[in-house]
Structure 1
Amino acid sequence: MSEVMDYSSRLTDPHSRKFETFSYLPRMTADQIRRQVEFIVSKGWNPAIEHTEPEEATGSFWYMWKLPMFGETNVDQILNEAQLCHNLNPNHHVRLIGYDNYRQSQGASMVIYRAPGFE
């Protein structure tokens, strides 16, 4: 069995905090982000984009970027909105969400852009 690594996340150290599964991995490439958006669209989930200051990332409230993109299936349009949110909030974390209409919950949620200095 491989060795399990301990991540010393602490509330007192914003740089040590982890948000979700992908935050334990290196930053996603543009291609990896695209594949996640394609997955959300393939499931028929409604994409949404949120952002927040790194210090507030562990809270349950993130700022919604516009409204969820109900019924949007154009991957490039979703990626453009995520990039625009990131460009206008460069010091924030930006996350992509896929809302599942049938289960009435999030089917996917991942930070796709991390604030500078939060590797």
Structure 2
Amino acid sequence: MSEVQDYSSRLSDPASRKFETFSYLPEMTPEQMRKQVEYIVKKGWNPAIEHTEPEHAFDHYWYMWKLPMFGETDVDRILSEAEACHKANPNHHVRLIGYDNYTQSQGTAMVIYRGPISV
């Protein structure tokens, strides 16, 4: 059996905190973000965008950027909304969510833009 790597994420160290899908990986490139949005659309999930200050990522609800994009299948439109949220809130984390109507839950959630971490 292979050795499992320990990710030392601590509340006392804001730079070490991990959250959401892919948070242990480097930031996504635009091409990787596009692939994730394409996956959400292919699954028939409803995309939504949320944002929050990095210091509140764990202890507050995230702010919704507009309403979820019910039925939206245009990948470029979804990406442009995420970018607009990031530009309007450059110091916030921005999260992309895919809501699954069938299970009435989040099919996926990932931070696609990370705000600066103040230590």
TM-score range, shorter chain: over 0.9
2:14 corresponds to which residue?
A: 14
1:101 corresponds to which residue?
A: 101
Aligned residues: 118
**C-alpha deviation, 1:58, in angstroms:** 1.6
2:35 corresponds to which residue?
A: 35
Question: Any idea what the Cα deviations from partners look like across 1:40-87, whole Å, max 9, x if unmatched?
Answer: 000110000000111111235100000000010000000000000001
TM-score under structure 1 length normalisation: 0.92
**C-alpha deviation, 1:2, in angstroms:** 4.5
Query: In the TM superposition, what are the counterparts of 1:43-62 in structure 2 within 5 Å?
Result: 43-59=43-59, 61-62=61-62
Q: Is the 8 A contact 2:45 2:100 kept in 1?
A: yes
RMSD over aligned CA atoms reads: 1.5
Q: Distance in 1 between matches of 2:31 and 2:63?
A: 25
Q: Is the 8 A contact 2:21 2:111 kept in 1?
A: no
Q: Secondary structure at the match of 1:78?
A: helix
TM-score under structure 2 length normalisation: 0.92
1:116 corresponds to which residue?
A: 116
Q: Distance in 1 between matches of 2:105 and 2:18?
A: 21
Q: Distance in 1 between matches of 2:56 and 2:81?
A: 22
Q: Secondary structure at the match of 2:109?
A: strand
Q: Distance in 1 between matches of 2:116 and 2:94?
A: 12
**C-alpha deviation, 1:12, in angstroms:** 1.8
Q: Secondary structure at the match of 1:108?
A: strand
Q: Distance in 2 between matches of 1:59 and 1:97?
A: 18
